[in-house]
Amino acid sequence: MRPPTRAPENRTDRRRAKTRQALIDAARTLIADGRAATASIADITATADVGFGTFYNHFDDKKSLFDAAIDQILEALGDHLETIADRTDDPAEAFATSFRHAGRLAIAHRQTAEIIDSYGFVLMESPTGLGPRAHRDLSAAVAAGRLHIDNVALATAITGGHLLALVHAWLADPTSVTEADVDASVETLLRSFGMPAAAARRLAHRTLEPLG
Amino acid sequence: MRPPTRAPENRTDRRRAKTRQALIDAARTLIADGRAATASIADITATADVGFGTFYNHFDDKKSLFDAAIDQILEALGDHLETIADRTDDPAEAFATSFRHAGRLAIAHRQTAEIIDSYGFVLMESPTGLGPRAHRDLSAAVAAGRLHIDNVALATAITGGHLLALVHAWLADPTSVTEADVDASVETLLRSFGMPAAAARRLAHRTLEPLG
């Protein structure tokens, strides 16, 4: 959980920041439970264990709260993925490794998976999210001659489609999708994006360093 | 557009069926415009050009109207795809041809594309929809030794993910996704489901007979 943008300066500020975060955490829980659309402000404040009136001290409406919750989730995931991209000069490797980590995170945490599943491509396209990163890495890999893609926007969408498919199948039956399936999926993607089979296999199964 | 289940017997019945269909057509328009969630009953009856009170003569609530609209769309698409499956003994061909036709329908009609995009995997999993057909064809292709898939449920989800990705990219920029991209996508899928490259290429580019 990242700290609020402005560091709390005194006890009142700290309490205020804590309440705001409690509301955001409640929103994340409701998203994960598939209740984001139907939850009332009263449901949200009850879940957060704060007073009903408190809500409007922090957010204008339900939508602005849920937007804040999604932003926080995407920023955390984005921070993870940046540390990965920083470790390699090969954009194809950055792409493959980001996909493998994102897939692992998604099939390890039901809350993350529910959010990805319910938001779908909207999430993929968020400026703080996965889509722009995948687009950037794929473009760089083409420029570097590592991949051969005519339509990078379509390739990005297909990458998103694979991730969503893995998450969706896992939610339906958590025993049915494993980390090996995530790796097999990115191997398929790399081959369909023009990487020779042997290179794709190597890249998709390289030992993953833990997220730092 | 298929006729109502019971054939209208007299003028009153015919008028009633016509009003019901006007409401369903309005729902399809609102789904396509991305307004399904926010549209009021008044919006729906205004779009259908019928009186406000008429709504409750036909549907209990908004949800039952939209369910009826989605069912109608899926039934029409399903009917199309059944005529295709009937033409071949090869389930791998039935799979590939269904995917190619579904992709072509989706990127030819903005309304269909908007509906597929906004409903996503929910649509894929509808009993009248694409998912169960893909699952059936893939299972039969495995049994016939045409494909080699460990996890047919995951393969079905990945097929859905590809179709959703094509539709989503086409909606963002209709010039960016062509029928050739649909064919390339199913070629990739067939190869990743264990079909030799040459056979996958042949099947993905075979001349398509028009829908009957």
B28: tokens are 């399809």
Shortest Cα distance, chain B CAs vs residue A91, angstroms: 22
| B166 and chain A in contact, CB less than 8 A | yes
What residues of chain B lie within 8 A of the CB of A121, using their CB? 117, 120, 164, 168
B196: tokens are 């030799």
Question: For domain A66-205, which CATH number applies: 1.10.357.10, 3.30.1490.190, 3.40.50.620, 1.10.3720.10?
Answer: 1.10.357.10
| A178 and chain B in contact, CB less than 8 A | no
Interface of A with B in 134-153 (CB under 8 A): 151, 153
| Statement: residue B28 has pLDDT above 70 | yes
Q: Do the chains contact at A158 and B165, CB–CB below 8 Å?
A: yes
Q: Who among A120, A153, A168 is closest to B157 (CB)? A: A168
**B67-205 belongs to which homologous superfamily?**
Tetracycline Repressor, domain 2 (1.10.357.10)
| B169 and chain A in contact, CB less than 8 A | yes
Q: Distance between CA atoms of A51 and B152, rounded to whole angstroms?
A: 48
pLDDT tens digits for range B85-133: 778 889 999 999 989 988 988 888 787 788 788 777 777 777 767 788 8
Shortest Cα distance, chain B CAs vs residue A15, angstroms: 36
Give A1's pLDDT tier (boundaries 50, 70, 90).
very low
Task: Pick the residue from chain A with its C-alpha nearest to B181.
Answer: A154
A/B interface, count of CB pairs below 8 Å: 87
Shortest Cα distance, chain B CAs vs residue A196, angstroms: 13
Question: For position A33, what pLDDT does the model report?
Answer: 74
pLDDT tens digits for range B43-101: 999 999 999 999 999 999 988 898 888 888 777 777 777 777 778 889 999 999 989 98
Q: Do the chains contact at B158 and A151, CB–CB below 8 Å?
A: no
Return the sign of the alpha-carbon dihedral for residues B98, B100, B104, B107.
Answer: positive
Question: For position A41, what pLDDT does the model report?
Answer: 93
Q: Do the chains contact at A169 and B177, CB–CB below 8 Å?
A: no
Closest-CA residue to B110 (of B174, B163, B193): B174
Interface mutation vs chain B, best among A66, A130, A158, most B CBs within 10 Å: A158
Conformation bin of residue A174: beta by default, left when phi > 0, alpha when psi is -120 to 50: alpha
Which segment of A102-116, A117-131, B163-177 scores lowest on mean pLDDT? A117-131
Which segment of A31-35, A60-64, A90-94, B146-150 scores lowest on mean pLDDT? A31-35
CATH no., domain A11-59? 1.10.10.60
| Statement: residue A181 has pLDDT above 90 | yes
Q: Distance between CA atoms of A16 and A13, rounded to whole angstroms?
A: 5
Contact A48, A21 (CB under 8 A): no
Shortest Cα distance, chain B CAs vs residue A135, angstroms: 13
pLDDT tens digits for range A2-57: 445 555 578 888 899 999 999 999 998 887 776 777 789 999 999 999 999 999 99
Q: What is the mean pLDDT of residues A132-154?
A: 93
- Angle at alpha carbon of residue B11, lines to B6 and B15, rounded to 5°: 75
Question: For position B2, what pLDDT does the model report?
Answer: 46
| B157 and chain A in contact, CB less than 8 A | yes
Q: What is the mean pLDDT of residues A69-98?
A: 83
Domain spans in chain B, listed from the N-terminal domain onward = 11-59, 67-205
What residues of chain B lie within 8 A of the CB of A177, using their CB? 151, 154
What residues of chain B lie within 8 A of the CB of A162, using their CB? 158, 161-162
Closest-CA residue to B175 (of A122, A151, A121, A148): A151
Identify the residue with better confidence: B2 or B139.
B139
Residue A193 CB partners (closer than 8 Å, separation 6+): A138, A141, A147, A148, A149, A155
